[in-house]
């Protein structure tokens, strides 16, 4: 199977869906340009090069540059989706979505419910998230819990090039608004990705490693760190199951609980803020639905409740590390009453 980067996998997903369905179009700031474009349009293909080359194949009617007005073009996308088109919108950083919360939270997320199920909103909002690239506090947040809180939205956080392609194709084919969040430090990550189209269903977690001592749940970039921690722990005879839920809404709690039937211990790794984040949400659901399976208190590995620092040393200390995950697992495994 060919190996491709996270960036290539996302580009391929959009290209294949635009070829399959003429209603699919892309818009955002600087998304036009790239390979095969001419003159001033031979530009980035988006701030991170993900849409590079789409303009040359599909033209300016389906690859549309926008002004720096997220509130306007997200609102335009919601309207386009209601009238039968299938927009894929790129927002450079998830931190910028604050200026278009009304369009997302009060409009797109509620159309299906407000109109008795007769309206659909097949809109994908792609954005980068996450710390680790020295982008500072206004460009580094992991805000997926905010969107998870709103019913009517689906929220995707892929952790590998294979999942990124399959989940994005699923998102484009979905009839509800989808928030699709890409960790900006993962665009050059490589992995096996088939050439053709395929989907990874929403709400189906991936079990990346099996072990009988502890369950580690992680999202996005934290999945790789959880796998590295699990490999280190195995050298000391501690075997971990690693679960990647892939989507925060819908979320596959059943798979997490099934693994707890064997391990009885849960460590959740979340790059989002600790208050009202995914770690807290999953811990609450498990405590409510599967308390009897637990052999030890649930451990959460998160950043502190503070903005993302800019200073390199502070930012590195801020992000959940392999060492912190390993320490949390050892605490869970070694816990006694």
97 near 143, Cβ under 8 Å?
A: yes
Strands (E), 184-328: 190-192, 206-209, 214-218, 240-244, 247-249, 266-269, 299-301
Dist. CA 30–CA 52, nearest whole Å: 10
b/e sequence 224-249, b meaning 16+ C-beta within 10 Å: bbbbebbeebeeeebbbbbbbbbbbb
Q: What is the SS3 assignment for 189? A: coil
Which residue pairs from 99-106 have beta carbons closer than 8 angstroms and sit at least 24 positions apart in sequence? 99/70, 99/71, 100/70, 100/71, 100/74, 100/75, 102/71, 103/71, 103/74, 103/75, 103/78, 104/74, 104/147, 104/150, 104/153, 104/177, 104/179, 105/150
Strands (E), 29-177: 63-65, 86-93, 124-129, 154-156
* Residue with tokens 């002004």, as numbered in its chain: 67
Strands (E), the chain: 3-5, 24-28, 63-65, 86-93, 124-129, 154-156, 178-183, 190-192, 206-209, 214-218, 240-244, 247-249, 266-269, 299-301
Is 305 a known active-site residue?
no
220 near 142, Cβ under 8 Å?
A: yes
Q: What residues have CB less than 8 Å from 201, skipping those under 6 apart?
A: 170
| Catalytic residue ranges | 139
């Amino acid at each position: 199977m060919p190996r491709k980067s996270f960036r290539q996998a996302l580009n391929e997903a959009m290209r294949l869906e635009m070829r399959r369905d003429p209603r699919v179009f892309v818009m955002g700031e600087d998304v036009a340009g790239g390979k095969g474009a001419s003159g001033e349009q031979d530009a980035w293909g988006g701030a991170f090069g993900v849409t590079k080359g789409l303009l040359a194949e599909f033209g300016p009617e389906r690859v549309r540059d926008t002004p720096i007005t997220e509130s306007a073009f997200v609102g335009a996308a919601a309207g386009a989706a209601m009238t039968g088109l299938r927009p894929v919108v790129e927002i450079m950083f998830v931190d910028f979505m604050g200026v278009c919360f009304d369009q997302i939270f009060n409009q797109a997320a509620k159309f299906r419910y407000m109109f008795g199920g007769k309206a659909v909103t097949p809109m994908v909002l792609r954005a980068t998230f996450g710390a680790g690239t020295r982008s500072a506090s206004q460009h580094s947040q992991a805000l997926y819990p905010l969107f998870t809180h709103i019913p009517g939205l689906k929220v995707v956080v892929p952790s590998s090039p294979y999942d990124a392609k399959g989940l994005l194709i699923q998102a484009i084919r979905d009839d509800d608004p989808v928030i699709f969040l890409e960790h900006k430090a993962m665009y050059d990550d490589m992995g096996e990705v088939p050439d053709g189209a395929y989907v990874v269903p929403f709400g189906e977690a991936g079990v990346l490693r099996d072990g009988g001592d502890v369950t580690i749940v992680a999202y996005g970039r934290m999945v790789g760190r959880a796998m590295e921690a699990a490999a280190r722990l195995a050298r000391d005879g501690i075997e971990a199951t690693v679960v990647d839920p892939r989507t925060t809404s819908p979320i596959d709690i059943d798979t997490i609980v099934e693994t707890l039937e064997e391990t009885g211990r849960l460590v959740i790794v979340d790059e989002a803020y600790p208050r009202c984040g995914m770690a807290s949400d999953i811990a609450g659901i498990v405590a409510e639905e599967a308390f009897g399976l637990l052999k030890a208190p649930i451990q959460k590995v998160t950043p502190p409740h503070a903005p993302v620092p800019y200073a390199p040393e502070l930012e590195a200390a801020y992000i959940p590390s392999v060492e912190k995950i390993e320490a949390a697992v050892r605490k869970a495994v070694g816990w006694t009453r």
